[in-house]
Structure 1
Amino acid sequence: MSAAARSKTSQSGTRVLRVLDALKGHSLTGVSNGELAKALGESPATVNRVLNTLIEAGFAIRLDSGRFAHSVKLLQIAQAHANEMARSQGRINELTQRVAAGAH
């Protein structure tokens, strides 16, 4: 990222998004604070602050194991996107069929 681009972004916001991304694929098992810190090259204290922010905003949870995962709220956002794409694909398929039927 260029210096100009960095000056127009929030470092703390970027950290939050990087942690959110690092939780991907661990919805059931979660990821430990230490694993996240190591993977992201951040201190455990920084990752802890970010996780607390994500939990407060409802985008992450602390599992009974003490590990962290995406929250149901975030998974609902992903599901809503998938549903929208499926509906859109249905409309595209219908239009394609109409065009093909009229092309003969």
Structure 2
Amino acid sequence: MTNKNTSSSGSRILRVLKALKGHSLNGLANGELANALNDSPTNIHRALNTLIQEGLAQKLANGRFALSHQALQIAIAHSNEVALAQIRISEMNQHLLAGNR
């Protein structure tokens, strides 16, 4: 489904980024990504180059591609923010319950 208010290349880049999830140690080859995303290796190569240039992907020593440390730092920062929010909500609930006694 194509929306004329979106970028097809931007969508491709984001699909590649999502496909790299869970492959941080061994990475994925360009061809594996192309097959998984039903796209051409050339298009996947361009998307990977964009992700690498923006610091969100990296080429591993084995020639495969994985999320970069920066991408993983974004995930960790989100996880930390959610954990802090959960602590704050728990503290608020404890105060509310203590006030009802």
TM bucket, shorter chain: over 0.9
Stretches of structure 2 that go unaligned for 5 or more consecutive residues are none
Report % sequence identity.
Answer: 56
Q: Which amino acid aligns with 2:60?
A: L
Kindly report the root-mean-square deviation, in angstroms, between the aligned alpha carbons of the 2 structures.
0.8
Stretches of structure 1 that go unaligned for 5 or more consecutive residues are none
Task: After TM superposition, list the pairs within 5 Å mapping 1:1-104 onto structure 2.
Answer: 1=1, 6-104=3-101
What is the TM-score of this pair, normalised by structure 1? 0.94
What is the TM-score of this pair, normalised by structure 2? 0.97
Runs of 4+ in 1 over 3 A off after TM superposition: none
**SS of the counterpart of 1:65?**
coil
Write the distance in 1 (CA, Å) between the matches of 2:90 and 2:75.
22
Q: Number of aligned pairs?
A: 101
Write the distance in 2 (CA, Å) between the matches of 1:91 and 1:50.
39
Q: Which amino acid aligns with 1:64?
A: A
